[in-house]
């Protein structure tokens, strides 16, 4: 290949490279916090990923609680369920879902948000309600178990907690129509994730996995505008440090 051909080949690749390095939209970065990664969570997982993990942990612990031999053992397992469901410090399921909804809401209020995201954000925020309610109930019943001195009562409550954790994971069939998770009042993490994925799939231009640099360097200015921390000043959604 002569020199001219090589230069032409190189020039033909440039536009492609330009597309790859073009920054994502601010709205998509917020969606990426829910979906892919965010720097505050354990393992920097996205909030929905954390929600899925916590829902699985809660259900596993509730199954262990059901087979606990002693009241003390049962109480320990239920305490684990409660932490996985509603701990704020440990990004429990409830907290992770609320944060995911917050970031979808941030996406919707970004200047570059698509109509699709603007319409979907309030629906998504509304649809986490049933899961949040179950997490609240798990916490309340968990307190009852912690205070109970009756093995029988604690076992009965643990059984109810198990139903709630399973519903949070897979959804439930409230209206007994044979369909699990058919309506938002029946949603678990599975259906919520599907709703989110459907919203992402509707994006035009399409949503592409956001590079971690963008995910971890989004900053909110005092004016309310979102920018990337290109000068590496350090900051977060509250603004530059």
Partner 1 sequence: MRLAWATLPVLYLMATSAFAHEGECKTEPSPAAHDAQQALQANPNDLSARLKLADAQIADSCYEDAIHTLQEGEALHGRNQQLQARLREAQSMLRERSYFEGLDRAEQAAKISRSLLRCNKLADIDACDQALALQPDDIRVVIAKADALMQAKRPTDALAIYRRAQQLAPDDSTIAAKLSAADTQSRELLAACMNSTGQPALQACQSRRARGAEHEFDILKRIGTLQQAANQPEAALDSFIAASLLQPADRSVARSIVGLSTSTGRNDALTLAARGSALLTLDRAMDALTPLKQAVALTPDLPEARVQLERAERLAKAHAKQVLDKHRQVAVVGDTIPAVMRTQPVQTAAPPRQYSNAAPVNNSN
Closest approach, Cβ 58 to partner 1, in A, equals 15
In the bound state with partner 1, the residue whose beta carbon lies nearer, of 2 and 82, is 82
Helix, strand, or coil here: 131? helix
DSSP 8-state symbol, 41: S
Question: Quick one: residue 229, left, alpha or beta (phi over 0 = left, psi -120 to 50 = alpha)?
Answer: beta
d(CA 198, CA 80): 32
Please report whether residue 115 would count as binding partner 1 according to CB under 8 A. Answer: no
Q: Report the site for partner 1 in 47-86 (rule: CB under 8 A).
A: none
Please report whether residue 149 would count as binding partner 1 according to CB under 8 A. Answer: no
- Which residue among 3, 19, 20, 89 contacts partner 1 (CB under 8 A)? 89
- Which residue among 8, 13, 140, 201 contacts partner 1 (CB under 8 A)? 140
Per-residue tokens: 151: 């093995």
Count of residues of this chain found to bind partner 1 when the rule CB under 8 A is applied: 40
Please report whether residue 7 would count as binding partner 1 according to CB under 8 A. Answer: no
**Do the beta carbons of residue 144 and residue 152 sit within 8 Å?**
no
- Candidates 71-79, 88-96, 169-177, 189-197; binding stretch for partner 1 (CB under 8 A): 88-96
Closest CA to 141 of 58, 22, 17: 58
Please report whether residue 130 would count as binding partner 1 according to CB under 8 A. Answer: yes
Please report whether residue 108 would count as binding partner 1 according to CB under 8 A. Answer: yes
CA torsion sign, 152 to 157 to 160 to 165? negative
Helix, strand, or coil here: 26? helix
- Which residue among 160, 173, 211, 229 contacts partner 1 (CB under 8 A)? 160
- Candidates 15-23, 95-103, 174-182, 198-206; binding stretch for partner 1 (CB under 8 A): 95-103
Burial level of 229, CB count in 10 A (0-12/13-18/19+)?
A: middle
Per-residue tokens: 195: 């709703």
Binding site for partner 1 (CB under 8 A): 39-41, 88-89, 91, 95, 98-99, 101-103, 105-106, 108-109, 111, 118, 121-122, 125-126, 129-130, 132-134, 136-137, 139-141, 144, 153, 156, 160, 224, 236-238
């Amino acid at each position: 290949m002569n020199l001219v051909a090589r230069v032409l080949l190189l020039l033909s690749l440039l536009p492609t490279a330009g597309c790859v390095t073009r920054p994502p939209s601010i709205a998509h970065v917020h969606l990426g916090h829910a979906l892919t990664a965010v720097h505050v969570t354990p393992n920097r997982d996205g909030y929905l990923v954390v929600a899925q993990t916590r829902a699985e942990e809660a259900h596993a612990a509730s199954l262990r609680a059901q087979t606990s031999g002693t009241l003390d053992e049962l109480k320990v397992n239920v305490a684990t369920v409660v932490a996985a469901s509603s701990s704020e410090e440990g990004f429990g399921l409830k907290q992770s879902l609320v944060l995911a909804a917050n970031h979808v809401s941030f996406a919707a209020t970004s200047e570059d948000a698509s109509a699709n995201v603007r319409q979907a954000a309030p629906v998504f925020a509304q649809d986490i309600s049933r899961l949040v309610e179950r997490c609240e109930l798990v916490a309340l019943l968990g307190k009852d178990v912690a205070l109970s001195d009756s093995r029988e009562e604690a076992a009965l409550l643990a059984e109810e907690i198990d139903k709630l954790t399973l519903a949070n994971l897979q959804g439930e069939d409230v209206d007994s129509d044979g369909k699990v998770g058919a309506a938002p009042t029946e949603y678990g993490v599975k259906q919520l994730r599907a709703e989110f994925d459907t919203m992402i799939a509707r994006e035009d231009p399409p949503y592409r996995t956001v590079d971690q640099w963008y995910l971890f360097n989004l900053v909110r200015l005092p004016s309310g505008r979102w920018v990337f921390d290109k000068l590496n000043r350090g900051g977060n959604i509250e603004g530059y440090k």
